[in-house]
């Protein structure tokens, strides 16, 4: 599950060097991130049905093989266009872990147990955003940017061997899957008509769009704008990931006092508030050097912390109604989520203007959209509003 974040975060410190090495500009190189997120979104549409039909284990093995081969191709890319294409296939391969792991959790746990288990997985997956930029910065300093992709290739191969040797099949024996493509598409349509499912997916996707805006914009903001050395970039970026990990571990204790829905509603208030404070700080203090950096990082840490709660809560609530179709539901959940991430990343690249506003403004917009999606689509109160309006 952590291969996707590792493939994203480890090469972030290398973006300026990568642009110089391939003879292009930073805005063009940022498209390798937007393409990766698009691959994550599209790839997840396929792994769920494959996991439902053929099993969780075969889907993971095929996806990991694709990830490993495309990572090696990234390491050998000679142009930014080739890298953009290979990053897409790398993302499609890594998306298998995000989809199939959710389906495995749904196979083995009820909703509240799934929320707790996903919080544990957040702890594991969250190690990548903390340590990957640090490791990437050191690998870059010693061996250059291509070595980062070779490292990820080795990691993918190790996961492939581990899954092949250790993972047992968890798909329920009674799982019924469609026989043809049109039935699969119709199944996706059924899932998309579940209003609260769409609401939770957009809540999670919009909120996480803010994190992916940070991922896309932070190399410029921290390294180019505020002058943080590339080898120390990981410490600055890793602080946000560490906050997210720490917050994810609060889910267990908090779920003993609140229902998942009530906890998510309260979290959304913090998310949208932190996003608005972040863009305000960028407008007022970005020109104050180190103090400007701190003014931006503080609300960013609060925003990132809420994501540690949003991910397991929204995922467990969205997946709860879908037992036999857990793989397809997981695919659609991930697709909608990472579609929002791709839009956020593209927004940062498109509006790149040499200031911190493209990143911070996108994060604030993502927080607002997440709040609205939860309030008007996912929340049980939204059903009352719809019923009242219909009446």
Kindly report, residue by residue over 182-236, the tens digit of the pLDDT.
666 666 777 888 888 889 989 998 998 898 888 888 888 888 888 888 777 777 7
> Domain extents for the chain?
3-390
Question: CA Rg, the chain, in Å?
Answer: 20
Q: What is the pLDDT of residues 280-322, one digit of tens each?
A: 999 998 778 888 888 999 999 999 889 888 888 888 788 777 7
In this model, does residue 391 exceed pLDDT 50?
no
What is the three-class DSSP state of 64?
A: helix
Of all residues in the chain, what percent carry a pLDDT higher than 70? 89
In this model, does residue 69 exceed pLDDT 50?
yes
For the ranges 5-14, 127-136, 150-159, 318-327, the one whose mean pLDDT is highest: 150-159
Q: 388 pLDDT band (50/70/90 cuts)?
A: very low
**Cβ-proximal residues to 101 (8 Å cutoff; 6+ apart), any chain:** 1, 121
Angle between helices 260-285 and 357-373 (to 10 degrees): 160
What kind of architecture, by CATH, is found in domain 3-390?
A: Up-down Bundle (1.20)
Q: What does the pLDDT average to over 161-179?
A: 77
Q: How far apart are CA 187 and CA 177, in angstroms?
A: 9
φ/ψ of residue 129, rounded to 5 = -65, -20
In this model, does residue 157 exceed pLDDT 70?
yes
Q: What is the pLDDT of residues 75-124, one digit of tens each?
A: 998 888 899 999 999 999 998 888 888 778 877 787 667 777 877 776 67
pLDDT at 178: 57
Q: How far apart are CA 150 and CA 144, in angstroms?
A: 11
Query: 119 near 92, Cβ under 8 Å?
Result: no
pLDDT at 174: 67
Q: How far apart are CA 324 and CA 172, in angstroms?
A: 8
Query: 101 near 47, Cβ under 8 Å?
Result: no
In this model, does residue 38 exceed pLDDT 80?
yes
Q: Mean pLDDT score of the chain, rounded to an integer? A: 82
- Classify the phi-psi angles of 258: left when phi > 0, otherwise alpha if psi is within -120 to 50, otherwise beta: beta
pLDDT at 108: 79
């Amino acid at each position: 599950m952590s291969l996707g974040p590792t493939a994203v975060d480890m090469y972030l410190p290398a973006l300026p060097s990568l642009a110089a090495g391939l003879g292009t500009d930073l805005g063009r190189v940022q498209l390798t991130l937007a393409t990766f997120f698009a691959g994550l979104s599209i790839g997840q549409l396929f792994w769920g049905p494959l996991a439902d039909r053929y099993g969780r284990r075969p889907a993971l093995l095929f996806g990991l093989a694709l990830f490993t081969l495309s990572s090696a191709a990234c390491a050998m890319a000679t142009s930014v266009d080739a890298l953009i294409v290979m990053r897409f296939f790398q993302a499609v391969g890594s998306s298998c872990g995000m989809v199939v792991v959710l389906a495995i959790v749904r196979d083995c746990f009820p909703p509240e147990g799934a929320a707790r288990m996903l919080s544990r997985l957040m702890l594991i997956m969250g190690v990548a955003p903390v340590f990957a930029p640090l490791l990437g910065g050191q690998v870059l300093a010693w061996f250059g940017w291509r070595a980062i992709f070779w490292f990820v290739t080795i990691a993918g191969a190790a996961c492939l061997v581990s899954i092949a040797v250790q993972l047992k099949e968890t798909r329920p024996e009674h799982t019924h899957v469609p026989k043809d493509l049109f039935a699969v598409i119709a199944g996706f349509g059924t899932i998309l008509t579940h209003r609260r499912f769409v609401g939770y997916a957009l809540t999670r996707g919009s909120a996480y769009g803010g994190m992916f805006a940070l991922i896309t914009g932070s190399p410029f903001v921290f390294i180019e704008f505020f002058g943080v050395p590339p080898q120390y970039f990981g410490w600055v970026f890793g602080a946000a990931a560490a906050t997210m990990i720490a917050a994810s571990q609060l889910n267990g204790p908090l779920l003993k006092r609140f229902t998942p829905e009530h906890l998510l509603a309260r979290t959304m208030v913090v998310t949208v508030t932190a996003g608005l404070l972040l863009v305000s700080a960028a407008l007022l203090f970005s020109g104050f050097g180190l103090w400007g950096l701190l003014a931006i990082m503080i609300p960013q840490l609060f925003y990132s912390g809420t994501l540690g709660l949003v991910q397991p809560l929204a995922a467990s609530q969205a997946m709860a109604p879908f037992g036999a179709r857990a793989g397809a539901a997981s695919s659609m959940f991930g697709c909608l989520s990472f579609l929002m991430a791709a839009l956020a990343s593209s927004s940062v690249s498109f509006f790149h203007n040499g200031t911190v506003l493209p990143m911070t403004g996108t994060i604030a917009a993502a927080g607002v959209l997440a709040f609205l999606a939860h309030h008007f689509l996912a929340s049980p109160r939204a059903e009352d509003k719809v019923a009242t309006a219909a009446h």
